[in-house]
Amino acid sequence: MKTKLSVNINKIATLRNARGGNVPDVVKAAVDIQRFGADGITIHPRPDQRHIRFADVYALKNVIHTEYNIEGYPGEDFMAMVCEVKPEQVTLVPDPPHVLTSNAGWNAITHQSELQKIIEVFHRAGIRTSIFLDADPEQVKAAKQTGTDRIELYTESFASGYTHDRETAIRPFVLAAEEAQGQSLGVNAGHDLSLENLTFFAGKIPGLLEVSIGHALISDALYYGLENTVQLYQRCLK
């Protein structure tokens, strides 16, 4: 089964907010990105609304016909909003409000009880859950006990090590994915995946269901155009 491409459109919202108004239009971008061949749209609303605004979360629900994936820290307001919008997937990320971008996976061992309760809420709302996780088989085993449907492997260390020694960089992710398969957990991945490293990563990771890519893809679109860039990333996954 082909790995799905979910495009994170946070950076489009960042550009819009830098000038005010509604240019570029985040909703139109989501419509176009799906038309260009993406398999889903990802957003990561933060409390300060520095890119995706809460109004965007609701507006996007009306136009996403592929897969809607909402990432974020599971505070009360976030959980209430997600349960109201009911996306296909919620991805739980352990980043507090002040961080610039996601920079670590959950410690599913120490936060296991907390995550269990949170995931139960989303399951009652009929929403598939995924938790952001470092590439560690022990963390994957602990993630299984939370009741999550999937894990999303945090791929920053792979991306940073790729140019130096790609085989060494990929090894922990292969082991984590293999453990996930053994635990009957779905595997997603994201963070710093790019045209340079995506083909290698996707080709090595067993059972990779979905990648979520934002910064690199939107940056590449400045040079190649948005439609062409979506197609370039899809080719990496074929």
Residue 164 bears catalytic tag: no
Catalytically annotated residue among 51, 67, 191, 210: 191
Residue 123 bears catalytic tag: no
**What is the CA angle 42-109-138, rounded to 5?**
85
Catalytically annotated residue among 44, 67, 152, 179: 44
Phi, psi torsion values for 172, nearest 5 degrees? -60, -30
d(CA 201, CA 166): 9
The two structure tokens encoding residue 48: 């300060």
d(CA 173, CA 179): 10
Q: Report yes or no: 97 and 128 within 8 Å, Cβ to Cβ.
A: no
**What is the CA 138 to chain-centroid distance, rounded?**
21
The two structure tokens encoding residue 4: 């799905």
CA-derived radius of gyration, the chain: 17
Catalytically annotated residue among 67, 71, 152, 179: 71
Which residues are marked as active site?
A: 44, 71, 191
